[in-house]
């Protein structure tokens, strides 16, 4: 599988959430340009979420816990295809995914980068342990949403900004 490098172009978003062009990932995050993103949440049959800790090699939000995987679609790649690609690249498996909602947010990260994203959130089910890519993922675990929400309240700086936003505002989507 091909990995998004800083030289790959990802979609810029304009009015009515339409793609208006493409730009390099590094420039998008340094200038705070509105762009497309994908977040995947995979649950087991006990409704535990597969959580990953981002690799120390990530250029932002490294070593923070986050949802199962996240990425940006490449130029000429659908959002759904990007979600499946990300699962394979980061977690070493694929499963049926359903888009459950989208939302936008604009947040400054601790290293001066800016996340200004239209994030498309997908949900799937899987039972087996992942085969993680250590360039992308430090480690992983299963956790219930209630326990995760409790942990975020106690240690908010251990989690990615987008995960906290999703769980603060959209957690009910995962219970349907």
146 Cβ neighbours under 8 A, 6+ residues apart: none
Q: What does the alpha-carbon distance between residue 9 and residue 24 come to, in Å, rounded to a whole number?
A: 5
Q: What does the alpha-carbon distance between residue 123 and residue 39 come to, in Å, rounded to a whole number?
A: 9
Express each pLDDT in 91-147 by its tens digit. 999 999 999 999 999 998 877 888 999 999 999 999 999 999 999 999 999 999 999
Q: Between the ranges 61-65, 84-88, 105-109, where is the mean pLDDT highest? A: 84-88
**Whether 69 is catalytic:** no
**Whether 138 is catalytic:** no
DSSP state of 87: I
147 Cβ neighbours under 8 A, 6+ residues apart: none
Q: What percent of the chain has pLDDT over 70?
A: 95
Q: Which domains does the chain have, with CATH numbers?
A: 9-175 (3.90.79.10)
Q: Give the distance between the most distant pair of CA atoms in the chain.
A: 41
Residue 157 burial class via C-beta count within 10 angstroms: exposed 0-12, middle 13-18, buried 19 and up: exposed
Q: Which two tokens stand for residue 92?
A: 């070493």
pLDDT average, residue stretch 11-25: 89
Express each pLDDT in 30-52 by its tens digit. 899 999 999 999 999 999 999 99
At 7 the pLDDT is: 60
Catalytic residue among 89, 90, 117, 136: 117
At 176 the pLDDT is: 64
Catalytic residue among 70, 77, 86, 115: 70
Beta bridge partners of 37: 119
pTM: 0.93
Residue position matching structure tokens 């998004």 = 4
């Amino acid at each position: 599988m091909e990995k998004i490098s800083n030289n790959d172009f990802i979609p810029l978003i304009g009015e009515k959430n339409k793609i208006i062009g493409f730009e390099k990932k590094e420039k998008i995050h340094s200038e705070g340009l509105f762009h497309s993103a994908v977040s995947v949440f995979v649950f087991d049959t006990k409704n535990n979420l597969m959580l990953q800790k981002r690799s120390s090699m990530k250029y932002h939000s490294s070593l923070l816990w986050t949802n199962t995987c996240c990425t940006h679609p490449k130029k000429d790649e659908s959002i759904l295809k990007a979600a499946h690609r990300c699962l394979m690249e980061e977690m070493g498996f694929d499963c049926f995914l359903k888009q459950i909602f989208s939302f936008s947010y604009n947040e400054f990260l601790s290293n001066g980068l800016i996340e200004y994203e239209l994030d498309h959130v997908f949900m799937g089910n899987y039972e087996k342990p992942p085969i993680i890519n250590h360039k992308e993922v430090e480690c992983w675990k299963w956790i219930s949403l209630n326990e995760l929400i409790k942990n975020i309240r106690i240690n908010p700086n251990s989690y990615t900004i987008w995960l906290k936003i999703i769980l603060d505002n959209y957690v009910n989507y995962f219970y349907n």
